[in-house]
Amino acid sequence: MLSINIRPLAKACKRTSGGVSRIWIFDPDDFSFTQAANNPVTGPQPYSAIVLRNAGSGATATAAIASNAVSSITVTVGGTGYLTPPVVQITGGGGTGATAVASIAGGQVTAITVTNGGSGYTTAPTVTLVSGATAAGGA
């Protein structure tokens, strides 16, 4: 069984299937590490998860409404550093139920697609893009 070498922390992350053999971490403060339960017989276990925190920031978007529903969302600033699409939160505007998904390319938010326009919107709601966490490795 191969393991992933974590540097500069020098902790191994157990690998369960093919692909990655090493992860080089230059700033460990950008990651959260989940240690697997310690086994009293075999000793310390490798990390069960390594998650990149706060990936991506700075993207903004505005919503438009038509017939009391969110009809479109326009990206006004693409932001930087996105490894996965941020979660799109739609709040306010007097309505409920609107949902949307973001698309990224080159680390920036490039588009937002409305998946459900919701109902009851009398003014354009606020759109907030929340950067998610990305699994970087694990058991």
Taking the domains of the chain in order of start, what are their residue ranges? 3-52, 60-132
Q: pTM of the entire structure?
A: 0.61
Nearest CA among 104, 98, 108 for reference residue 73 = 98
CA distance 2 to 17: 9
Tens-level pLDDT at each residue, the chain (139 residues): 444 444 343 344 445 555 555 555 555 555 555 666 666 776 666 655 555 555 788 999 999 999 999 999 999 999 998 888 899 999 999 999 999 999 999 889 999 999 999 999 999 999 999 886 444 444 4
SS3 66: strand
